[in-house]
Amino acid sequence: MKIAIIGSGGREHALAHQLRKSSKLSEIYCIPGNAGTEKISINIDLNLENFHELYEVLNEKKIDLVIVGPEKPLVEGVVDFLESKNIKVFGPRKKVSQLEGSKIFTKKICDKYKIPTANFKICNSKDEAFEFLSSANFPLVVKADVIAAGKGVYICKKIQDAELAINDIFGGKFGKTEQLLIEEFLEGDEMSFFIISDGITYKTFNTAQDHKRVGEGDTGMNTGGMGAYSPSSLINNELEDKILKKIIDPTLKAVSAMGEKYVGFLYAGLMIKNNEPFLIEYNVRMGDPECQTILPLIDNDLVEIIDACCNSNLKHYEIKWKNKKSMCIVLCSKGYPEKYNKNIEIKNLNESESSEKHYIFHAGTKLVNNKVLAIGGRVLNFVNLSDNFSSGRKEIINEIKKINWEGGFYRSDIGYKVINE
Ligand code: AMP
Ligand code: GLY
């Protein structure tokens, strides 16, 4: 089978790595990929905004199956487009991708299907938002109704913070908008919960804990994710049952009621309080870096599982997981998530070899004249499988030190809530 993966991050490198283990795979392409995928697949540099160009390439290479990594092409309808050209694609269609594309769309589903989530108010103008603030309790959360890679979310401790957020959003900081969302601030612990679905059946696809803030102790600015570990220490049978019954099942019922089906990974960002789940947001894809952490734990042939999803055949498979702890630490360019330098060489990469328990997945890298250059904020993902998170973290930090990249930094406290030292 010839497979193409769309995307260029650590998630896509981890997917390519896992798919390559399958005997069913003949060729793998990454569009556009990075320096890591270039070593294990064929990278094709392409403008992903242009679906026609994408189709031409897929058709010319006789691709059997396309896997879409990031949210942007999903929300823009790449699945609908490729399906209309008779190409098999793994990922949700445009209409259901609104689960990530519009927080208001998801909140309306939560309301109709009584899905536990933060209380909210949809505001259609600045005046309405300011009026609401005058009698609101703080802290609260103000959100732009866009995909802004986590940047459209403002946690507001006082009224002045909320006023600033409202001015930013209606001022067009995240594009032209007619609406925003104001939410109750939820207390608790966050967890990333995943399922994989073929449109008829779904299976759980493990859990992870992501560290989104740039600084040690979860402080400072929000990022795409500085590290993660799997499984989450919060999960237990009772909680999983509640998540499925109160959140996932009603959401899939809402998808059916729209005349749609959900094919792909679905990622529920949850807040857990007293073993009760609340939905913060949906993402219509795997998380990044959660994917890098979760995939090395899978004990199935991933090509078989994803192909089964595209053939509405998932019910015949049982997804199995290694009884290991997995951790990922992200090495970033100094300055991230704000300004950082680009095209900086990463030397010494050969000092750290991947093995069956240690992986390096590339993110913002590019191979130029046989040199690996950092071109993005999040650059390399170091993943380790071990019997406990503490030794896993030590081993990762050893590997990062071997590379000793002076242009980079990382959080050395990933997993601090489950490591007592
Ligand atoms: P989102 O993009 O909606 O996932 O929000 C980004 C981050 O903001 C989440 O991962 C949470 O850490 C935080 N957040 C969002 N909504 C809430 C809420 N209602 N209560 C508390 N924290 C929130
Ligand atoms: N790690 C957060 C995300 O993928 O959205």
- Closest residue (by CA) to atom 15 of ligand 1? 280
Domain for residue 104, yes or no? Answer: no
Within 181-326, where are the H helices?
237-243, 249-257, 290-294, 302-310
Residue 151 beta carbon below 6 angstroms from any ligand 1 atom: no
Nearest CA to ligand 2 atom 5: 287
- Domain that residue 6 falls in: 2-93
Q: Do both 256 and 142 map to the same domain?
A: no
Q: Ligand 2 centroid vs 351 CA: distance in angstroms? A: 29
Percent pLDDT > 90 in the chain is: 94
Q: How many CB atoms are located within 10 Å of the residue 317 CB?
A: 17
**Nearest-CA residue for atom 12 of ligand 1:** 190
Q: Can you give the pLDDT at residue 234? A: 97
User: Among 185, 252, 228, 219, which residue's Cα sits nearest to residue 325?
Assistant: 228
Please report the atom of ligand 1 found closest to the CA of residue 187. 21
> What's the average model confidence in pLDDT over 309-316?
97
The fraction of the chain above a pLDDT of 70, given in percent, is: 100
Q: Domain boundary at 184, 203, 224, which?
A: 184
Mean of pLDDT values over 410-414: 98
Tell me: do 292 and 206 sit in the same domain: yes
194 and 179, same domain (yes or no): no
107, part of any domain: no
The reported pLDDT for the residue numbered 421 is 73
- 64 Cβ inside 6 Å of ligand 2: no
Give mean pLDDT, residues 389-398: 97
Residue-level pLDDT at 146: 85
Residue position matching structure tokens 């536990």: 116
Residue 280 beta carbon below 6 angstroms from any ligand 1 atom: yes
Residues 291-315 as b or e (16 or more Cβ within 10 Å = b): bbbbbbbbebbbbbbbbbbbeeebe
Q: Residue 310: is its pLDDT beyond 70?
A: yes
pLDDT bucket at 150, cuts 50 / 70 / 90:
low
**Last residue of a domain, which of 167, 184, 201?**
184
Q: Does ligand 2 have an atom closer than 6 angstroms to the CB of 283?
A: yes
Whether residue 327 is predicted with pLDDT greater than 80 in this model: the reply is: yes
Checking if the pLDDT of 393 tops 90, the result is yes
Query: Would you state the pLDDT for residue 7?
Result: 98
Which residue out of 210, 281, 284, 411 has the highest number of ligand 2 atoms within 8 Å of its CB and is therefore the one to mutate? 210
- Expressed in angstroms and rounded, the spacing between residue 70 Cα and the centre of ligand 2 is 10
Average pLDDT for the chain: 96
Same domain, 196 and 295: yes
What's the confidence (pLDDT) of residue 353? 74
Residue 35: its H or E element? helix 35-40
Supply the pTM of this predicted model.
0.97
Whether 141 and 43 share a structural domain? no
Is residue 352 predicted with pLDDT exceeding 80?
Answer: no
pLDDT(289) > 80: yes
Q: Structural domain tally of the chain? A: 4
* Whether residue 57 sits in one domain with residue 38: yes
The residue-averaged pLDDT of 298-325 equals 98
CA of 169 to the centre of ligand 1 (A): 16
| Per-residue tokens: 330 | 């992200």
Q: Report how far residue 351's alpha carbon sits from residue 360's, in angstroms, rounded to the nearest whole number.
A: 12
Q: How far apart are CA 355 and CA 359, in angstroms?
A: 6
Residue pair 29/63 in contact by the 8 Å Cβ criterion: yes
CA of 182 to the centre of ligand 1 (A): 12
Cα 333 to the chain's mean position, in Å? 20
